Structure 1
């Protein structure tokens, strides 16, 4: 026989609605169901419905408005525990005990950092890597989107999309690839939802759970999450700020890791170092992977943000055996909200095609067509030039702010383009501690420990230069510098003066 619930029915209903209010499912000012609606929805008596509403009113969760009904109070933050019954709190306590299991398979440490930042009230975001809205021509983009829908009024309701990509998008991306020195047939192009889906598909195609994937160290934390979520193991290979991933370390990895199946790199403005891999190193890396039968997954998200009128060729340009899986996204350059990307999977094309169909079917045609037309237009080249100019100014202002406010011993790598600065903190400083302290001040940063599974980069921090440098941003840098000096004083009395910043070009 089932154990009877410890609370009367009206208290159970009040608790359920109270929890919905506390979680924001019933926001402040929203109207509660009427007495009659509660009776019908929950199959309860008039007395139970009335008692439910009155209890919630007594606890300050609802406001009764004569002849109108009950409305959610703005200040209400109810919890089940407020009903003061220990048996009722048991499910919550059990849920709390599972708190640490929420991110299993998603790199728990990284996920907790991201979740902490999401929950905090952030005023100044220096932790992101996406250009702010002010850096895009929103009016022109909206005009193009509206014109596209006028031209194809049925575009959003068509269900007969192709899995690979829209032919116009494929043709446009093949032309872009040719301009970059990569020869592709339009049918080699697969549309994706940004680069994350592309890399996920690539790794699914070439590896199985338990296999090893070599990554640059440090590397983008999202890649570490993707690898772990697929049951793969990441092998961190040292990455030089000047040449990129170490071929010597990769040679050792091939000899010692029999399950090594893929290498993932960002040859241009590597995240977070900002490395620009020389052409000779790209050619050597492609040849190495082909020789050893490894898939080389090239994430080319940032190449168009280089401070150069003629961006270098991708590693894919040296691929003659089909071992390079090329992935490009427009998230950073055209429209972050569009989430439009594409990939060319080389010798794994057919497998990736079927994996795409099995996992997500089609990528929306509207985004593909919008990206195809923008990326092929002269206006896109002008937009990229303005974007690069603005980002260069913002990076320079950020670097000067670090010089003004951070303690002695700070070292700063200045990349030849992109969205971020990679900063080495003074000896003894911890970016993890700084992250927690800065969040309490309403400032978000990206601690260096996020960019590795080893924790070896806790003495570094990635700072975003994605927004206009305002007085508020200046104050945020001043606050970060004060927090770092306080860390130094706590560990090494007498240290912590500003003005000894070492700048170096990547």
Structure 2
């Protein structure tokens, strides 16, 4: 965090104190003079500290009295419910139509003039180290001018893979550079992993809800998907997965995002990760770990990958730099355990080798402390944006809205009250050039049609604030229209419906 401006570091310090209860609701914030004296800062810096916390909804200014701690509106909003454990194994589904549904959504986005886009899951371009990466790529080309005229290495650039292997140690993984295969983002890694362990018609267990890109991959490969209930706090339900394995017995793989799951934002405890691995080992099920987001967890402390406990090559670890370093580079990688030779063959047959220049540039940058400083800056910016977005939703959305505010990442998962269709809200918002990702994209079950995923990767501006307010107004109007359309008890329409229902066998 030392790379952040001083006022932001101090604001983060006091935010930790507020969250821990050291500064309680209604308590007076240390005065500007106290801040100046205690931290040896200027009046301007002390004011910036308080304004930063005020902008996030954590402080309020009282006339001639100073700043006081307030409870943000989002504290009063109900968290998402844990999924119900029905004791009934889920039914496998083909995901027929999910690709068409996603295609229609993408087409609408392209055909409309979108001014505020909450549907994506990445940070604003200015939050990535563009200038430093350009310098690293230029340096790599000066040192190795043949990069553009010789064929790239099959597994990926050796230097880049060495950097990835060293970085993987922080997550508990012991990998040799030759254990790593560079891919075109994580989505190609997932494609290769699924093709390595399954064939058309096989069953794959997935989190529910899950990233719609994975659902498209499953459909394109002709795989049957088994949606497993997933907690907004702790990830995939091991009990439900155990029941599914007992019921079907032919699950070929489980695909999970253990850290900042997309779209829920859940983080699996280590005990759950180990329990999941044991279950997969006992049943001979491949465990595909999508670790795209772990570097965005607020604490900054490296989280252990499931792969770190893998002694038998049962885990296929997939990762990406797309969200955390450079969306334009499309760099991903995988370590496939006992399927490594097969995924390398499939990669060669499918897309051949990745070009080398971006790997060399990324590797040079990631080998330095500048990469760690970038991640700290990125996490800090996302934390501020996420808090402000959550606060706006709590203020502006209709009563009954639920929300999961994860400990990091790029997005919020919001449940609309009254089971309001997020598709209806999406259509109404798109007419006003605002785009959201409706929950129907993240499942084929229909259970999440009244949810939406909202991005908070862009700096919070007046335009974003106005768009969130308008979303809240639209949701409120749609709920009122929905309620008005329902027959009231005792009216002729309600009596007719009741009479008709009682006549059914």
Give TM-score, length-normalised by structure 1.
Answer: 0.76
Indicate whether 1:257 and 2:248 are aligned: yes
1:368-394 residue CA offsets vs partner (Å, 9 max, x unmatched): 212222222100000000000000010
Superposed CA deviations along residues 355-380 of structure 1, whole A, max 9, x for unmatched, are 01100110111122122222221000
CA distance in 2, matches of 1:250, 1:397: 36
Q: Could you tell me how far apart the structure 1 residues matched to 2:97 and 2:154 are?
A: 28
Deviation at residue 142 of structure 1 after TM alignment = 1.3
The 8 Å contact of residues 156 and 182 in structure 2, kept in 1 or not, is answered as yes
In structure 1, runs of 5+ residues without a counterpart are 1-102, 496-506
Three-state SS of the structure 2 residue aligned to 1:348 is helix
**Corresponding residue for residue 483 of structure 2:** 492
Write the distance in 2 (CA, Å) between the matches of 1:367 and 1:105: 36
CA contact (8 A) 2:137 2:360 kept: no
**Do residues 222 (structure 1) and 209 (structure 2) align?**
no
Matched residue, 1:207 = 198
Q: For 2:159 and 2:263, how far apart are their aligned partners in 1?
A: 34
Higher relative contact order (CA 8 A, sep 6+): 2
Q: Specify the alignment match of 1:312 in structure 2.
A: 303
Provide the C-alpha distance between the structure 2 equivalents of 1:119 and 1:295, rounded to a whole number of angstroms.
Answer: 40
Match of 1:362 among 353, 356, 366: 353
Q: Is the 8 A contact 2:129 2:325 kept in 1?
A: no
- 2:118 aligned partner: 126
The yes-or-no answer on 1:303 pairing with 2:303 is: no
Deviations 1:3-33 (A, max 9, x none): xxxxxxxxxxxxxxxxxxxxxxxxxxxxxxx
Question: Quick check: 198-207 or 465-474, which moved more?
Answer: 465-474
Relative distance call for 1:291 and 1:355 in structure 2 (3 A) is: same
The question of 1:178 aligning with 2:178 is answered no
Offset, 1:179: 2.1
Q: Kindly indicate whether residue 340 of structure 2 is the aligned counterpart of residue 373 of structure 1.
A: no
Distance 2:419 2:239 in 1: 31
Candidates 138, 143, 151, aligned match of 1:146: 138
Of the structure 1 ranges 446-455 and 133-142, higher mean CA displacement relative to structure 2 is found in 133-142
Asked whether the equivalents of residues 448 and 460 of structure 1 are also in contact (C-alpha less than 8 Å), the reply is: yes
Q: Which residue of 2 aligns with 1:237?
A: 228
Report whether the alignment pairs 1:450 with 2:418.
no
The count of residues paired between Structure 1 and Structure 2 equals 392
What secondary structure is seen at the aligned counterpart in 2 of 1:369? Answer: helix
Which structure has the larger Rg over C-alpha atoms?
1
Cα deviation, residue 254, structure 1: 1.4
Structure 2 residue 341 is matched with structure 1 residue 341: no
Q: Give 1:258 shift.
A: 3.8
Answer yes or no: is the 8 Å Cα contact 2:401–2:414 preserved in 1: yes
Cα distance, 1:424 vs structure 2: 0.9
Name the Cα RMSD after superposition.
1.6
Conservation of the 8 A alpha-carbon contact between 1:106 and 1:226: no
Aligned counterpart for 2:377 among listed residues 386, 395, 399: 386
Counterpart contact for 1:428–1:491, Cα < 8 Å: no
- TM-score (normalizing by structure 2): 0.76
Q: Is it true that 1:469 corresponds to 2:482 in the alignment?
A: no
Shift of 1:137: 2.2
Matched residue, 1:433: 424
Q: Is the 8 A contact 1:122 1:443 kept in 2?
A: yes
Measured in 2, the distance between the counterparts of 1:437 and 1:362 equals 44
Name the SS for the 2:145 alignment partner.
coil
CA contact (8 A) 2:397 2:472 kept: yes
**1:494–1:471 distance in 2 versus 1, CA, 3 Å:** farther
In the TM superposition, residue 475 of structure 1 has moved relative to its aligned partner by 1.1
In 2, Cα distance between equivalents of 1:428 and 1:452: 16
Q: Offset of 1:105 from its aligned partner?
A: 7.3
User: How far off is 1:454 after superposition?
Assistant: 1.1
Matching residue of 2:183:
192
Q: Is 2:450 the partner of 1:459?
A: yes
Structure 2: runs of 5+ lacking an equivalent: 1-94, 487-505
